[in-house]
Amino acid sequence: MEKIKARNDDFETRRQHLQNLSDAELKDYFWDLAAKVVDPLIELARTNTTKAIERSVLLRMGFSSLEAKDLVDKVLDHGLLGKGAGHIVYRLAKLKNCPLREAGLRLLNDQDWELILSSFGVQEWKN
């Protein structure tokens, strides 16, 4: 059996900068450190997406899994996945003043992509 090394107890040394803080100050310090850990994750989630996430959004908007897959593929083909597939459908629904489902079906039938692209300031998409 392997011998377990004794842990160097440096707790007193590591806690010196916290020693004179009140409970409220310790609580604030904790939440500040927690924010520093979580902020990069929040930024990553805000600026990145995946096909699976976008399919999930479309499923919650009422599209079938097959429709959601095809819609996400078309959004990706048009270089707009970063805008969000649900956002694309929502934007077309607003532009055409139609229900979300109808907007999604129009996109599935390769209609109105030029309108969507121009609404995002994309002049022409070459795949």
Span 46-93, pLDDT tens digits: 778 899 999 999 999 999 999 999 999 999 999 999 899 999 999 999
Residue 111 belongs to some domain of the structure: yes
Residue 126 has pLDDT above 70, yes or no: no
Residue 11 belongs to some domain of the structure: no
> What is the residue whose two structure tokens read 């109105």?
112
Position 76 scores a pLDDT of 93
Give the integer Cα–Cα distance in Å for 39 and 51: 23
Residue 77 belongs to some domain of the structure: yes
Give the integer Cα–Cα distance in Å for 48 and 52: 12
Confidence of residue 7 (pLDDT cuts 50, 70, 90): confident
**Domain limits for position 123:** 23-127
Give the integer Cα–Cα distance in Å for 22 and 28: 10
Q: 3-class DSSP state for residue 123?
A: coil
Total domain count for the chain?
1
Residue 16 belongs to some domain of the structure: no
Position 46 scores a pLDDT of 73
CATH of the domain at 105: 1.10.8.1000
Residue 17 has pLDDT above 70, yes or no: yes
The pTM assigned to this predicted structure is 0.65
CA 74, 67, 55 angle in degrees (round to 5)? 75
Residue 65 belongs to some domain of the structure: yes
